[in-house]
Amino acid sequence: MTEARVAPIIEARSIIKTYGHVQALQGADFTAYPGEVVALIGDNGAGKSTLTKVIAGVIKPDSGELLFEGNPVEMTSPLAAQKLGIETVFQDLALAPDLDGAANVYLGREILKSGLLGRLGVLDKPAMKTEATKVFVDLGVAIKDAGAAVANLSGGQRQGVAVARAAAWARKVIIMDEPTAALGVVQTENVLNVIRRVRDQGVAVVLISHNMPDVLKVADRIEVLRLGRRVATFKGSEATIESLVGAMTGALDGDLVR
């Protein structure tokens, strides 16, 4: 992709957010383009989570501007973000453990039967199971039975359900907060593949991660936050662990790539 010609799908400008005396974001900027994986990295307390929550509509910034496809937007709730095609995989996954995988993928967006039964609110469970299974297979999420309660799945499988749920519905942007934090090597590789597949469908993937090797494997661009501000932007192909760590810690101040 050529960044100069493609307009950003989402852009945050000069976002400020304070909690009491703590300035979590001190005029933070962020940009994501369609069809790219952009990693958002930074040390603990750099403001990554706060910034992504602003983009996901979970918290309201004190000041600053949010642009979606070039137009200013008020992101008042996660639902407002979802309506724009922005989905988030939260760190706590936000799944209903007693419901099965298919039910979780379709939670709040159930498919109803056609005709009179549908108007009575009758669910089309077979259709949801078929489609959810298809999403799991497409994304390489290893869930044998989409009808098994999420509580019965392993940690990696639960992560898979949460990612599949977001990926299935994200039309424009998908935000993933530490999606590989609790996973083993194979499962991590699966999630990274999912990220690539979603990206290849033209969706912008915002990846928050502490894991530098993972970031380097999958990110097209990397934005670095430090002390509530964007301090550097790298091309994925040009970044090294040393340069990223340098930007995160401030050793390479002023070395803006773009």
Partner 1 sequence: MSTPPIGPPTPASEQAPPTPTQPKAGTAATDVQRSSGAGLRKAVLGSNTLWIFLALIVIIAVFGALKPTAFLGSYDIKTIFINASVALLLSVGMTFVIITAGIDLSVGSILVMSGVIALKVMTAVAGGGSASSGAGWGTIVIGILAGLGVGAGWGVINGVLIARLKIPPLIVTLGTFGMALGASDVLTGGVDIGGVPTKFSAAVGAGTVGPVPTMVLIAGIVTIVLGLVLHLTRFGRYTYAVGSNTEAARRAGINVDRHLIKVYALSGLLSGLGGLLSLAYFTTTTISGHTTDNLTAISAVVIGGTSLFGGVGAMFGTVVGVFIPVVLASGLVIVGLQSFWQQVMIGAILIAAVYFDQLRRRAKSRP
Residues binding partner 1 (CB under 8 A): 1, 35-36, 78-79, 82, 90, 94-99, 103-112, 114, 120-132, 134-135, 138-139, 147, 149, 151-155, 164, 167-169, 189, 192-193, 196-197, 200-201, 216-218, 220, 235-237
Which residues make Cβ contacts (< 8 Å) with residue 208, sequence separation at least 6? Answer: 39, 40, 41, 48, 49, 52, 175, 176, 177, 178
CA angle 72, 73, 75 (to 5 degrees): 150
Identify which of 6, 8, 4 has the alpha carbon closest to the alpha carbon of residue 30: 8
Q: Shortest gap between Cβ of 167 and partner 1 (angstroms)?
A: 7
Q: Shortest gap between Cβ of 97 and partner 1 (angstroms)?
A: 6
Which residue's CB is nearer to partner 1, number 213 or number 250?
213
Which residue's CB is nearer to partner 1, number 151 or number 256?
151
Identify which of 83, 207, 103 has the alpha carbon closest to the alpha carbon of residue 148: 103
Q: Shortest gap between Cβ of 205 and partner 1 (angstroms)?
A: 12
Q: Shortest gap between Cβ of 139 and partner 1 (angstroms)?
A: 7
Which residue's CB is nearer to partner 1, number 125 or number 229?
125
Strands 71-72 and 221-226: unpaired
Q: Cβ distance 221 to 38 under 8 Å? A: yes
Which residue's CB is nearer to partner 1, number 13 or number 196?
196
Q: CA torsion angle for 142, 144, 145, 148 (degrees, to 10)?
A: -60
Which residue's CB is nearer to partner 1, number 46 or number 102?
102
Q: Shortest gap between Cβ of 95 and partner 1 (angstroms)?
A: 6
